[in-house]
Amino acid sequence: NAGVTQTPKFQVLKTGQSMTLQCAQDMNHNSMYWYRQDPGMGLRLIYYSASEGTTDKGEVPNGYNVSRLNKREFSLRLESAAPSQTSVYFCASRDGSLAVKLFFGSGTQLSVL
């Protein structure tokens, strides 16, 4: 049982480069989320998808785009990476039966030079 799988685990980009972070879940969850974690800032929501076909902005959406490809997959794209986007990115999914229980992936450590 893989749960939530994120790729890649580590990535180094130069300013202005683009990349897509991939996320897939095998738990048949409807809702999926992208968070970023920065020291002393906690977990901040970037985008979320309440169900297949819908996406909504979170607290810090600027500089990011998302695609809910199907029920399993939710990708996060950085079109033109900036040093301020250096962070650890977590994807999560939620079982609709329990509002508070998110299942997180193991994260992507992204550095933008």
Partner 1 sequence: QQQVKQSPQSLIVQKGGISIINCAYENTAFDYFPWYQQFPGKGPALLIAIRPDVSEKKEGRFTISFNKSAKQFSLHIMDSQPGDSATYFCAATSDRGSTLGRLYFGRGTQLTVWP
Q: Which residues of the chain form contacts with partner 1 (CB under 8 A)?
A: 4, 31, 40-45, 48, 50, 58, 90, 92, 94, 99-102, 104-107
DSSP letter, residue 9? S
* Residue nearer to partner 1 on the CB measure, 17 or 58: 58
**Residues 70-84: b if buried by 16+ CB within 10 A, e if exposed:** ebbbbbbebeebeee
* Residue nearer to partner 1 on the CB measure, 17 or 37: 37
DSSP letter, residue 52? T
* Residue nearer to partner 1 on the CB measure, 12 or 16: 12
